[in-house]
Amino acid sequence: MAPSSLKSISRPAILLFSFAALLVLLIPFFSYSSDPTHRRRLVSSSTNPTPPPCSAILRLPPDERCAFSRSHCYPSGGLVNYSSLHFCLLHSSPLLSFPSLSLLLILLFYLLARTASDHFSPAVSLISSRLLLSPSMAAVTLLALGNGAPDLFASISALHTGQARTGLAAVVSAGAFVSAFVVGAVAVLCPTSPFPLEPSPFIRDVFFYLLAASAMFYIYLSAEIFLWQAMGFVFFYIFFVGLVFWMDSNIDRREGVEHEMIKLPEWDLKEAVANREACKTNESGWGFCQLIRNILNHHVLEVFLHIESSSSKIVFTFHQIPRLWQVPATTLLKLTIPSPSGEWSRFQAAANIALCPSLLLYYFSSFITMDRRLVFIIPHYNFPLWSIVLFISICLAISHFILENEPPETERTATAIAAFVMSVVWISTLAGELLNCLSAIGTIMNLPPAILGLTVLAWGNSVGDLVADVALARAGHPATAIAGCFVGPMFNMLVGLGSALVMETANLYPEAYKLQFHVSIVVAFVFLLLSLMSSLLVVTWFRFRVPRFWGYSLMGLYFTFTALSLSMAVLSR
């Protein structure tokens, strides 16, 4: 690669990753309350190993549980008191509360997946195309952030709400699920098994993930983490990005666009296969950005089977039954998140201008009080801040609706940035609600929070990884699927959990942040390290080919881990 080309890529790549890292670090800061009592509550929740007061609700008489749930179980920064739904609205009836809360969980998971795939990832793709990032650099920076957005913000929300054990368990068990079960599913379902892997990228990804997991395990066993250690995780991933860039700089950017690109959260195989040849013939060498924009419309619950022949192409589509319940959720997301794609609607653009500022103000309400009184225009009359923001936004929206008749040609970058920010707001909010709902279910069932993170949260946030990787492997790209199984979870552990730990340890500096010990998390760490080391040894032994029998072995390893974790949860009650 020519020095001029190297220089043109390195500068935007470094700036882009710095922007993403700063965003992750600053979001928790703005979520903190400026009230000192709130800070003391966070400190006490992190240093006190006893369970939260809400966990004592089952020891109370039934007639006192409703009032107790309203006064002690309202989640910090949450929108809904899920415990009160069970103990008050549904009168502690398991036949009503468990189906209702399960439906809420499905809705939250669905909103997370749709926000990440339909809004966050297109914005990330457009920003990366404007900055001319190579496929590998986009993979370990923006695309890794997009692929791991639900897990990342769930970890941040967990530590913010004093549920560090649930968040840590979710990250570790999700890594075990992806590195064992998903890798095994790819090896078993790939039609070309055993399939070859590139030695250098495979060893690099697995070794760095193994090193990061070992360091996190060592710190967890020490039961405390300091600020410099938490910052070390984030900088370790930055070092990994630099190594990837150095290795990528020696590879022709024109070669293997699809093969070098690490997956997005969702894949539309139909459009990806249709555009494969167009991507290969793209002379600019950056055709992966157009490919990304063409494959972002896949739903997690839809499975596409493509059968190609010389005379016809048959596409079997399952689960195409209309789902009317998706319409309100999709409409809400479109009205509050700008669309960075080519589709433009004057009404949607006006609605974005009217609603997005108010939603941002509500998101930062713990930092900026919404009802703060301000003197505005009329002397001696003060108006709350939210009314001023809403009034200005509506005026701008009306003006935009009247004056703009055609989509602007020069505002796509600004629209992508706005979509990026609003997607971050939605994903962070939904991740917090997801954790609160899971914690309420754990309280009702009297389950340890770590077990919830090891099972439900890990499975739910990894459904997209499972569907995307298996579909990609069946489409003929198993090496890309395997690469995504290691980089994504490593990003969640180092940047997601690491950034949350940075904010918590900075709040307690120079004291250490105490980690609550639970044997189930230790078991998750052991199985994660075992799956990584065994995959590294077995694949290397078979000359960097993944045999089908090893896929069955990895899936059996994960089933053993799940059975052992659930058995320990039952015996510890």
Give 29-80 pLDDT, tens digit per residue: 333 333 333 333 333 333 344 444 576 777 788 788 888 878 777 766 677 8
Contacts of 58 (CB under 8 A, 6+ apart): 65, 443, 446
Cα separation, 256 vs 259, whole angstroms: 5
- Quick one: pLDDT band at residue 287, thresholds 50, 70, 90? very low
Give pLDDT, residue 315: 39
- Quick one: pLDDT band at residue 377, thresholds 50, 70, 90? low
Tokens of 287: 């055709």
Cα separation, 130 vs 509, whole angstroms: 39
What would the mean pLDDT of 305-321 be, rounded to a whole number?
38
Q: How many CB atoms lie within 10 A of CB 531?
A: 26
In sequence order, the β-bridge partners of residue 195 are: 546
Task: Report the b/e string of 185-207 with b at 16+ CB within 10 A.
Answer: bbbbbbeebbbebeeebbebbbe
Identify the burial level of 537 via C-beta atoms within 10 angstroms of its C-beta, where 0-12 means exposed, 13-18 middle and 19 or more buried. exposed
Is the pLDDT reported for residue 190 higher than 90? no
Contact 314, 307 (CB under 8 A): yes
Give the mean pLDDT of the chain.
70
Out of 16-25, 123-132, 304-313, 493-502, the most confident range is 493-502
More confident: 229 or 152:
229
Contact 195, 478 (CB under 8 A): yes
Contact 385, 370 (CB under 8 A): yes
Contact 337, 419 (CB under 8 A): yes
Is the pLDDT reported for residue 154 higher than 70? no
Contact 481, 139 (CB under 8 A): no
Is the pLDDT reported for residue 547 higher than 90? no
Q: CATH classification of 3-304+410-571, choosing from 3.40.50.300, 3.40.250.10, 1.20.1430.10, 1.20.1420.30?
A: 1.20.1420.30
Cα separation, 544 vs 177, whole angstroms: 22
Cα separation, 12 vs 15, whole angstroms: 5
More confident: 49 or 372:
372
Cis preceding linkage at 28, omega within 30? no
Cα separation, 141 vs 346, whole angstroms: 32
Give pLDDT, residue 298: 38
Share of the chain above pLDDT 70, in %: 60
Give pLDDT, residue 159: 74
What would the mean pLDDT of 275-298 be, rounded to a whole number?
39
Give pLDDT, residue 453: 58
- Quick one: pLDDT band at residue 401, thresholds 50, 70, 90? confident
Give pLDDT, residue 222: 87
What would the mean pLDDT of 17-25 be, rounded to a whole number?
41
Task: Give the CA count within 13 Å in the CB-facing half-sphere of 254.
Answer: 6
Domain boundaries, the chain: 3-304+410-571
Give pLDDT, residue 573: 60
Give pLDDT, residue 22: 39
In sequence order, the β-bridge partners of residue 545 are: 196
Cα separation, 277 vs 263, whole angstroms: 18
Q: How many CB atoms lie within 10 A of CB 102?
A: 13
Is the pLDDT reported for residue 317 higher than 60? no
- Quick one: pLDDT band at residue 319, thresholds 50, 70, 90? very low
Out of 71-80, 374-383, 396-405, 520-529, the most confident range is 520-529
How many whole angstroms from its chain centre is CA 151? 4
In sequence order, the β-bridge partners of residue 383 are: 374
Is the pLDDT reported for residue 416 higher than 70? yes
Tokens of 398: 């009306």
Q: What is the DSSP letter of 262?
A: P
* Nearest residue to 457 via CA among 122, 54, 219, 177: 177
Is the pLDDT reported for residue 361 higher than 90? no
